[in-house]
């Protein structure tokens, strides 16, 4: 086990250094989409993730954290695996088996000490959420689909989900433009402070 000393509030603390951290978007933390059955997502209990994590005894290598919204709600259930300095974003984790496969993948990388190619069963669930760091060799892990950037004005300005104006149930006009929302909660948030969300 590797540790480091970290100073806080005038004291030194010993902190165990890890190989990684798994962040899972959880309905329990007030998110807006992942785990919501009415939005077509698997209503997983946090226990599913915790039990897989505990049974593998990787607590001192990989920390598990349940978060609120991670951002890419449209493709949830979402998670991000930070491991060996790399961020691996996961989407559409809507079967229990995928949770097990993800832990298998993480455990494999903890064992090998490096980022490994995604296994076939996870490959279509991995994508690049962040732009590649400048001047660094960077190997995308998922299958990239090119986006021409058209239709950005369709994005829900609060959760950044793509909303079809033809079928949008929630919308509002602001500053000469119509905004579309995926859910009434996003519309309410926008109306409370339009300037904070209005897309230039």
Q: Which of 24, 62, 64, 73 binds ligand FES (CB under 6 A)?
A: 73
78 binds ligand FES (CB under 6 A): yes
70 binds ligand FES (CB under 6 A): yes
Candidate ranges 10-18, 70-78, 82-90, 185-193; the one touching ligand FES (CB under 6 A): 70-78
23 binds ligand FES (CB under 6 A): no
Q: Which of 22, 24, 32, 90 binds ligand FES (CB under 6 A)?
A: 32
Candidate ranges 31-39, 44-52, 178-186, 188-196; the one touching ligand FES (CB under 6 A): 31-39
Cβ 160 to ligand FES shortest distance, Å: 9
Whether a cis peptide bond, with omega within 30° of 0, leads into 32 is no
Q: Cβ closer to ligand FES: 42 or 58?
A: 42
87 in Cβ contact with 80 (< 8 Å) = yes
Cβ 93 to ligand FES shortest distance, Å: 10
Q: Which residues bind ligand FES (CB under 6 A)?
A: 25, 31-34, 69-73, 76, 78
């Amino acid at each position: 086990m590797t540790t480091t000393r970290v100073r806080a509030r005038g004291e030194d603390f010993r902190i165990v250094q890890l190989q990684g951290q798994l962040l899972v978007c959880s309905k329990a933390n007030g998110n807006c989409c992942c785990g919501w059955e009415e939005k077509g997502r698997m209503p997983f209990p946090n226990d599913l993730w915790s039990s897989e994590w505990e049974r593998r005894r990787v607590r001192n290598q990989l920390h598990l954290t349940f978060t609120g919204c991670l951002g890419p709600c449209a493709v949830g259930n979402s998670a991000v695996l930070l491991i060996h300095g790399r961020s691996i974003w996961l989407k559409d984790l809507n079967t229990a088996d995928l949770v097990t496969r993800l832990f298998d993948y993480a455990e494999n990388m903890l064992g090998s000490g490096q980022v490994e190619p995604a296994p076939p069963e996870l490959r279509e669930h991995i994508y690049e959420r962040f732009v590649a760091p400048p001047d660094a060799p960077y190997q995308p892990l998922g299958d990239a689909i090119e986006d021409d950037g058209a239709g950005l004005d369709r994005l829900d300005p609060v959760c950044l989900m793509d909303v079809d104006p033809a079928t949008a149930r929630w919308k509002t006009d602001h500053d000469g433009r119509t905004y579309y929302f995926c859910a009434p909660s996003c519309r309410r948030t926008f109306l409370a402070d339009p300037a904070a969300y209005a897309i230039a």
